[in-house]
Structure 1
Amino acid sequence: MKIPLLSNATQDKRICAFCNGIGDMTTNGPGRLLNLDVGQWCHLNCALWSAEVYETVSGALMLVEQAYKRSINTECASCKQKGASLTCFFQRCPNTYHFPCAVNNGCVFYKNKTIMCPVHASRTTATDQILDDKSVFRKVWINRDEVKQIQNYMTEEHEETSYTLRIGSLVLHNVGQLLPHQLQSAVFHNRNFIYPVGYTITRFYWSMNRPNRRCAYHCTIIDMDNKPMFRIRTQENLDEPAQEFLESTPKAVWHKIVDEIDSLRRRHGLVKMFSIFVSGEDLYGLTEPHIIRLIESLPGVEMLQNYAFKYGRLQLLDMPLTLNPTGCARSEPKLQTHFRRHAQTLTSSHSTRSALPRTVLGVEGTQIPYVKHFVLSKSTQ
């Protein structure tokens, strides 16, 4: 979620995408805010009472995105502002409201999740079905496409005062990129990990100077002499000098920090840290499933020969072309300006023989470059 990184940010400035209300409101009114998308929020009742939305047994609100897209161009019958998503269920009634406007104008809410505007509510006699208390205390959330949300996190521009993606104690700022000559080199990846240049995270971990305190460690991957170097910087207080660690592997650079923390804990008689079990790749976030998916979707990664893909070639991130200083493809070295992804061809059961490699069919011809193949499910296709 996109939240400002301000230590003194006590005022809730989140705005509802439907009613434009600021912050959480009363439970019998719009209710608490739910995360709709990257940097977007909506009140629980604003989403729940929208015409398209329905709730599953587990508490997931479905089709909220469709309701939001419709409300963008829908005017409220009361305040004449856009964002209205609650419609009167009387046949051919054009009235549409924001949730607060519907409550203030006397719209009637029924237990079967239907709404009647003041004009048509007087014609109904089912007074025992009227819902007076619209509070929701059960667990409710908005159902979203996980892959699409991760893609939105990385493709949207963010300010310096906000972070892109947080997973526990890890904050991802930049997923990085590999240039063609780095992809062809075997030093920027191994069988289990890819080390994109420019990859930047912040890890909140134990302090090296003060026991029982945590501080922020800014971790980056840089290119130095055509080799990946792992740099960690930390500064606990503004009046203290920043500390920097630089090594050729994530394990080596993090073990410098972990050893300092272990020595500090020993001096203060605290629980021992078993640094031998600390993984540098884990602390760098390179084992997080969401980050692995993003790295595996970087341009040109499918050219890696000895890397074992965890999720296949999922296209989560579309990045711009690499820099072309001259502006002319002919004047640049070969494969320095553009990557083209291999199309995933769908073959039926009748074309299995034609899809087999030539060596399997007993045909020896020109050498075919090795390409990893992945079997995708029908839902993915």
Structure 2
Amino acid sequence: MTTTRRDLLKFGALAAASAALPGWAKPSKPIKRAAKPLNILILGGTGFTGPFQVNYALARGHKVTLFNRGKRPSPEWPSAVEQLFGDRNTGDLKSLQGRKWDVCIDNPTSLPFWVRDAGKVLKGNVGHYLFISTISVYADGSKQGITEDAPLAVYEGKDAMAETQDSLRADIEHLYGPLKALSEAEAHKQFGKRVTIVRPGYIVGPRDETDRFTYWPHRVAQGGEMLVPGDGSDPMQIIDGRDLGEWMIRLAETGTLGTFNAVGPAKPLSTTAMLKGCERVTGKKPTYTHVSPEFLEEKKVELPIWVSSKSGPYAGYGAVSNTRAMAAGLTYRPFDTTVTDLLAWFRSQPAERQATLRAGITREQEAALLKEWHAKL
């Protein structure tokens, strides 16, 4: 079947929970120091995109403090980073009390009470609160060109503040978007006008433990006959985790407020264009066999990130508007760079990690599907 919002939520949650692994790629150009150094608090910071924020902030001359449970290994930072410990699940935020920061970036929150509790400690002690949300907050994902002003998903449970990580995981398809939407509302309640909401879609690149995008260049690199969904014209939206993380720091530097869809690339990326880009990087050119969305639906096959623009209730998730974000300074590194660095990172992982991708279909499944497809023709 086509990628659904369930797929987006499932892999989004996995990405948020990914372990901190090596993979910081040094920038090709020197990073200029910011005009005004900031004292930045990052809630989380050792997951997928957090280390990109930290490294960029340090390169720009900012002071960085991390707050988390300390259960993941921290990368080796290029300069000093203050580490505070606590547990937002239990309300243990004592290490944040009596401290002031210019900016707070909230990376991991999916539960409204996390924002409420952070507000109780940080309100009046941070000048700017930036919250990482998701495009899953939208009530209707079927429309093309979803803007930041579209209606949001409605929570239908009994008590949003009583929801926990366990209850979220148990019904992530129905709870993730609504609880993120309520977390956004709670951010405004706690921190007033000095709030920035950033709504990413699929975050990809080095350090991505979900393999949701890795599946495509990895498969292209293997060559041979390759199953391709649809006719190749369907849109794909991805953003390199480094582009997202670095933009968050620039938003903090400029004090930019508002709500933004953090999706990419700058220009529409079709399935065919994505595959051609993977060819350029890998030097391989598979033989593509295009199969219909209806066939994949019939066979209950899920292919990551790809969304048919002609079918499915979440077809618009491949074409969310990023106009406002680009106007606010969101930039994108070349697609080929993302693919090159992603594959380099993936191939640096242990052999057992590379052996089984966490998204997509196996070569055996693909061969069986292709055989069935050819038999239908």
TM-score (norm 1): 0.23
Structure number with the bigger relative contact order (C-alpha 8 A, sep ≥ 6) is 2
